[in-house]
């Protein structure tokens, strides 16, 4: 299968490219290196250094004629979307529309879109949260993701373009950077490896910090591979369905580092505590039974195993 992966130089996209290449697919990357890195590029993939908003994108589609586009390119920082909603909307909405127009013109059959369960549901009153829970975006970033989902619905209805929306929980793992949705994993690791003491932000009613659903990127790659052949016209959570507090996450990372002789000092048992930051969602945990049913997908990495794989990467 010929697949264009946008954002294939980034954290999740590059892992997805590696998964597709290993499965024998013909992969083309489109990335403008806004946050992506050359060292993440799979040498067996073809690379176009290009902005997804660019007029010339159609030339890439004309030459490559992809069967599938797996769209990962995005402005993915929530605080940056609040600071500059214009830029956020340009990249995330107009970039997606440009891709959809090219897809229709050049016969692409399917779009896989990386959306966000961590941000679209807002402060959900139902935990674990299913895909039917009404969207309540609390940031421009989440609004652009929800808007792109609506565009996909339109392009499917109007042009017959197939799609699968994958609403990721908080994704962590090898190649992750500190400013992403699950950036706290990278922040704790970098701080502890350099023998610094991290800060855990807590709410008055949640002294262990907020809770998140931490999904390992290796499982996210498998979800994308399964979505090549299934989940047509569906929105599907990709998550562990396990709610983990920031303190639990911190302890898991600390334990994993200590097994490798790092952060042994007793001071690391008591990280700094700071007040909750404005805009932080208290709880997030996504139901994943739809992914099991429609994609035959189940997470294989629990937090301990996923953190161990991530620690290996950070130490390298
Ligand atoms: N990291 C998470 O926990 C998480 C959770 C939910 C959804 N997502 C989504 O997954 C996708 C990948 O996120 P990530 O964490 O790997 O982020 P990332 O920043 O590592 O990857 C994004 C990639 O897109 C590229 N890019 C950005 N703007 C571009 C543009 N205008 N044209 C072409 N390329 C562009 C960047 O250079 C980078 O390589 C994003 O769409 C993000 O919203 C991530």
pLDDT at 179: 73
**Mean pLDDT, to the nearest integer, of 39-68?**
98
- Give the residues surrounding ligand 1 with Cβ less than 6 Å away: 6-7, 9-13, 31-36, 51-53, 72-76, 91, 95, 114, 116, 118, 168, 170-171, 177, 180-182
Predicted local distance difference test score (pLDDT) of residue 59: 98
Inter-residue contact 253 to 222 (CB < 8 Å): no
pLDDT of 93: 98
Segment 141-185, tens digit of pLDDT:
999 999 999 999 999 999 999 999 999 999 999 999 877 666 899
User: What is the 75 CA–ligand 1 centroid distance (Å)?
Assistant: 6
At residue 203 the predicted structure's pLDDT band, cuts being 50, 70 and 90, is: confident
Distance 114 CA to ligand 1 centre (A): 9
Q: Whose C-alpha lies nearest to ligand 1, atom 34?
A: 31
214 part of the active site: no
How crowded is residue 227: how many other Cβ atoms within 10 Å of its Cβ? Answer: 26
Question: H/E/C letters for each residue in the chain?
Answer: CEEEEECCCCHHHHHHHHHHHHCCCEEEEEECCCCCCHHHCCCCCEEEECCCCCCCHHHHHHHHCCCEEEECCCCCCHHHHHHCHHHHHHHHHHHHHHHHHHHHHCCCCEEEEEEEHHHHCCCCCCCCECCCCCCCCCCHHHHHHHHHHHHHHHHHHHHCCEEEEEEECEEECCCCCCCCCCHHHHHHHHHHHCCCCCEEEEECCECCCCEECEEEHHHHHHHHHHHCCCCCCEEEEECCCCCEEHHHHHHHHHHHHHCCCCCCCHHHHCCEEEECCCCCCCCCCECCHHHHHHHCCCCCCCHHHHHHHHHHHHHC
Give percent above pLDDT 90 in the chain. Answer: 91
- Ligand 1 pocket test, pick from 14, 30, 36 with the greatest ligand atom count within 8 Å of Cβ, gives 36
Comparing C-alpha atoms, which of 161, 72, 162, 57 is closest to residue 115?
72
Please compute the mean of the pLDDT values over residues 93-116 and round it to a whole number.
Answer: 98
pLDDT tens for 70-97 read 999 999 998 899 999 999 999 999 999 9
pLDDT in tens, 116-149: 998 999 999 999 999 999 999 989 999 999 999 9
What 3 state SS string does 151-166 have?
HHHHHHHHHCCEEEEE
Distance CA 47, CA 17 (A): 11
Distance CA 52, CA 150 (A): 19
Q: Which residues of 245-254 are buried (b: 16+ CB within 10 A; e: fewer)?
A: bbbbbbebbb
User: How far does residue 116's CA lie from ligand 1's centre (Å)?
Assistant: 11
Q: Which of 141, 163, 214, 250 is catalytic?
A: 141
CB 239, CB 288: distance < 8 Å: yes
- pLDDT mean over 100-129: 97
Cα dist. 62→6, 65, 122, 189 in Å?
A: 16, 6, 39, 43
Residue of 47, 79, 180 to test ligand 1 pocket, by largest number of atoms within 8 Å of CB: 180
Question: What's the rounded mean pLDDT across residues 97-111?
Answer: 98
User: Distance (Å, rounded) from C-alpha 176 to C-alpha 46?
Assistant: 22
The residues, ordered by sequence, that sit 6+ positions from 166 with a Cβ below 8 Å of its Cβ are 112, 113, 114, 115, 220, 223, 224, 227, 236, 238
Mean local confidence (pLDDT), 104-116: 98
Query: What topology does CATH give the domain 2-169+217-239+286-300?
Result: Rossmann fold (3.40.50)
What pLDDT, in 10s, does the model give residues 283-293? 999 999 999 99
| Distance from the alpha carbon of residue 10 to the mean position of ligand 1, in angstroms | 6
């Amino acid at each position: 299968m010929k697949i264009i992966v946008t954002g294939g130089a980034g954290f999740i996209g590059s892992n997805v490219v590696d998964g597709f290449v290993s499965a024998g697919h013909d992969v083309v990357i489109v990335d403008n290196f806004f946050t992506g890195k050359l060292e993440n590029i799979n040498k067996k993939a073809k690379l176009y250094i290009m902005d997804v908003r660019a007029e010339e994108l159609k030339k890439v589609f004309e030459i490559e004629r992809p069967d599938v586009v797996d769209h990962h390119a995005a402005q993915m920082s929530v605080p940056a979307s609040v600071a500059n909603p214009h830029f956020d909307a340009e990249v995330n909405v107009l970039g997606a529309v440009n891709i959809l127009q090219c897809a229709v013109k050049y016969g692409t059959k399917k779009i896989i879109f990386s959306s966000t369960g961590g941000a679209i549901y807002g402060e959900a009153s139902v935990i674990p949260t299913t895909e039917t829970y009404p969207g309540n975006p609390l940031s421009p970033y989440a609004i652009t993701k929800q808007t792109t989902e609506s565009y996909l619905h339109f392009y499917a209805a109007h042009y017959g373009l197939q799609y699968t929306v994958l609403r990721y929980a908080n994704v962590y793992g090898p190649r992750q950077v500190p400013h992403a949705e699950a950036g706290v994993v990278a922040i704790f690791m970098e701080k502890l490896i350099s023998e610094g003491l991290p800060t855990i932000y807590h709410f008055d009613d949640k002294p262990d910090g907020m809770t998140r659903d931490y999904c390992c990127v290796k499982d996210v790659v498998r979800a994308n591979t399964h979505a090549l052949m299934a989940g047509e016209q569906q929105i599907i959570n990709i998550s562990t369905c396990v709610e983990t507090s920031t303190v639990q996450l911190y302890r898991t990372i600390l334990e994993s580092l200590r097994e490798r002789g790092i952060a042994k000092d007793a001071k690391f048992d008591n990280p700094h505590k700071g007040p909750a930051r404005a805009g932080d969602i208290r709880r997030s945990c996504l139901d994943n039974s739809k992914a099991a049913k429609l994609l035959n997908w189940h997470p294989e990495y629990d937090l301990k195993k996923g953190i161990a794989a991530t620690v290996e990467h950070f130490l390298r």
